[in-house]
Structure 1
């Protein structure tokens, strides 16, 4: 009887997993625009002569738009059926970034990127909730969805470098079509889903551990935002590399992040969620130190990959663990761990910009070597959500 049940369940899971891959692809498109912001910052600096503080202000605009509304949007997703919300979010994210380059005044560029960030805020809670329903108890499955976002970040410099080198920042409008296509696919899928009522898992919400987890996510995202924003300028201004090498360095960092997201899900299925969060905080320190101490444009590239890998090991795990701490509010949990805390970390970008203006971009990479220690210390206070919520190996 048990064998027959498994045989029936496997085909039944296949359509669900296919839907999760659709969500992962949509996540890649949405986060492409978040990745295009730091990828385009060096070109705004070099073409329009922005200061480091002004450059980090562009990252601040995108993170403000994507951070502040997310708890409210997550709560709305948990209470109401909003199947078209992800489509609207990805379309707004693409339109905001697409209009930033042709805009002339700095204030208009800033507002455009703010709207692009708002699009990400609209997308993440509903998409994170849907992905959790598709993934079930598999952390590896959830990591596939999270990796979609990492793929978007990875593709950003790969696509931005040749386009912006050839045509300048005014060419950002060329990145609008993927948002239109993704929105079209999501709207069609939403029409198919309107007759389905979303299920909400039972269990007691544990806000204390969730708050600790959120602080860990903020630390992780602060390091990520600092490296992603300044790694290109670090390659040009400190290591003496070309703009193409700067884009390559960012692509290596984000490509390592894709691998780290998948590896983190597989590791969590073996050793548990909490342990994986702690391991990621420990692993990233020597990788960042190697990136800072490497003497040349080529010798530093392997450390860019390894730093991105180690930094993203806890990413999908944090999203899944947050939903386990708040089983009755998966949209809210996704909005905070996948969106709010990630974006709040980016709010520290202007502080890193001040350090770069005062002492050079190398100072930024010295500072980020110490921040993961705080994430590891906070990780010591995490506890398993409990076997009763589907977590037998979390401690």
Structure 2
């Protein structure tokens, strides 16, 4: 049997290793556009590689049908992943947050050990090769690169990802190939990404960072609330809370819905507690400029914007701020709301949403329901995970199930 795997990322590599371990007699060619496998693995976790998570359910995933992932999570849970890592010599560092990293704290060690196992198993790596088309003739698959044809494959796995991080040569070729075999797909969109806002003072707040609670409103209805770092930028907002909520925001944007967020800079205080704190500050620093008094609880940049936003003269003394103005400032600090207009795009996204529709894929084997012996795994499918190792775990799990299926006659 001769198998082709398109894409040398997490899903493709674990599929190749799993299949070859089950049947040493099969021939496997793994194709990748880059000079080496695992480019996205190397970039994950800022080079540290947030490789998995010990607490995973379908609630950590978004897509047309998130329950599609349940079989993969059942068969390849964290314990199974840990055992796989041990089998290639990779020891894990499990954090109290449930995030999992290599004990070496380097993504490079993950890729090196995966590559070592491919070599040990005799899996053929065909690198710097972009597969642009696949045809099926007399039950055999024919792969076409930009300048060469590869013939006589019995089975093919598409694990080439989507467009997130195009600087790593990411493409949507997997979707194009899927459509050749009558597959449909949901529109792709950048996920885990900074958001562009219509907030008129965004440039004045550039660099301001504060742990806050971010609420997401879709068509004016509150849909999600996440607490974490918010970083103001020249284009809008970023930070961990924004990346996390972006998954739901961008999906709604892709459906042309009205999307807005609200920021509460003091989620641990009630409005009355915050009001009392401000009143005390203004009394204590009554002869100081109002923005100086405000800088006792927020950054100077934010203090100045709060005054401008509420039409309060920045040179006004703290003692001259009236009760109505203090309440207006409190409202801004607990419900600073603005529309989301766009994202930072695929180049700055950690993952892609959308992709090949999962109702056309068998969730136990990851084989196409439309074309026998054609398989899909990883990001090319319409499943995207939260930040925290969930996307990589789906890649490992779906690749493992596909790998098991590839060797079955």
Same fold (TM over 0.5): no
Determine which structure has the larger helix proportion and give its number: 1
Hey, which of these two has a bigger chunk of strand by percent?
A: 2
> Highest Rg: 1 or 2?
2
TM-score, length of structure 1 as denominator length: 0.24
TM-score, structure 2 as length reference: 0.23
